[in-house]
Amino acid sequence: MPDITDQFRLDGKVAVVTGGSRGLGREIVLGFAHAGADVVITSRKVDVCVALAEEVRARTGRRALAVGCHVGKWDDCTSLHEAVAREFDHVDVLVNNAGMSPLYGPDVREVTEELWNKVLAVNLSGPFRLSALFGAQMHEGRGGSIINISSGAALQATAATLPYGAAKAGLHALTSGFADAFGPNVRVNTIVCGRFLTDVSKAWDLDALTADLRRFQPLQRAAEPHEIVGTALYLASSASSFTTGAMIRVDGGAPI
């Protein structure tokens, strides 16, 4: 039998990661590059993407393309797809990681139309457009994998996360829908994330969070960003060849 670890390699593959310049996206980019993939790093701040692309090339020797893109704008999504096509003759993996969850007051009536539309544009409309574009390319070519990054808010939203939770719940619907649309040679799955200590966590009350996690979550802690990479690598690689339409929780056992 072949070495099972070979199934987790991404040699010869091209991976596009949105929101790839920091947080979970940065860790996924570096993890994929170390596993042999060439990577496309995209976010609204192209200069940060360029810096990470240089780091990828220096640390791994892989090709890395930096592209500025606001995934909440369909024209930007189209431009991203075209930019990747000019650089690479195929794409094997799309990670819809870019997201946002702006704060609003305690009264849900304070959610403005602008905030609602902005949250759904980035967290739902962008992944739909990019999955349609890159998924069709994969489907017509050599196949591939689409990985959506979701949140426990999609399963149990709170008063403070209603727009975000609604958008991420919609992302779950896209997962099953695109798995059907582009099967059998394109797999589409979602990672449902718990609490990760990214830049966003700087706004959290970490003492209160830690107390809650110790009471209600089996692993009793928040995750470090690199702890997303194992699941993402599984879903991107041939190791997950019979996994599609799945929602995989990486949340330390958080109650739903």
Spatial distance between the Cα atoms of 44 and 70, rounded to a whole number of angstroms: 5
152: nearest Cα among 121, 192, 93: 192
The single residue listed with the structure tokens 């994929």 is 32
- According to DSSP, residue 141 is labeled T
104 catalytic? Reply is no
Amino acid identity, position 118? K
Give every CB contact of residue 35 below 8 A, 6+ residues apart in sequence. 8, 9, 10, 11, 233, 237
- Please check whether residue 131 is in contact with residue 94, taking contact to mean a CB–CB distance below 8 angstroms: yes
Give every CB contact of residue 214 below 8 A, 6+ residues apart in sequence. 220
- Would you list the DSSP string of 177-192? HHHHHHTTTEEEEEEE
DSSP reduced 3-state for 209: helix
The residue annotated as part of the active site, out of 104, 164, 178, 182, is: 164
Which positions are catalytic? 164
